[in-house]
Structure 1
Amino acid sequence: MVKKAPGQVQHLSIEALAGLKERLATGAPFKSYGEIVEWLKTEYNLELTYATVYAWAHYRLQAKLKVPRPQSALEDVEAVELLKKTSFQQY
């Protein structure tokens, strides 16, 4: 029989981990890892640190929390397209 050290208990419960995976895959996207911390606190009553949530979401679940940057309402679309066509692009 192989002996194994007991180790530390996981911070995320199985239900919370399944819920987080589902929310990251199909639900409304999170804008930040702090938002995930708050969501876990309200949904599963888990008091986790930012670093723990970041490690789980970023490294283990490989989640991408990318939200496009806001654009100005005053931006001239034609000028942007002209700049893209005429600017020097190095390959």
Structure 2
Amino acid sequence: MENLKELERRIKVALDRVSEGLEHGNNSHDASEREAALQAEVDSLSEQNAKLSALLAELEQDRQAEADELQSLYGKLAEVLNSSDAELEEGV
């Protein structure tokens, strides 16, 4: 009878260990899945960041081209206004 109780206790301990191992194994598996999902998200965000950086660089070039064109137009306007003023002064 004592042997049966001891055997029962040992079986219970062994089952508890197996159960604990399975729980940790599942947690490890879940952690691996979470890690993989997080890495996929990081990769996706890195790709989006690269695209946005390229778009930002392109927009900066466009803005610079527009600023250059605007500066050129201001220069031409100044020339026209100066020549108009000179003509008015000559006419007076």
Normalising by the smaller structure, the TM-score range is under 0.3
Larger radius of gyration: 2
Greater RCO (Cα-Cα under 8 Å, separation 6 or more): 1
* TM-score (normalizing by structure 1): 0.20
Structure in which a larger fraction of residues adopt helix = 2
* TM-score (normalizing by structure 2): 0.20
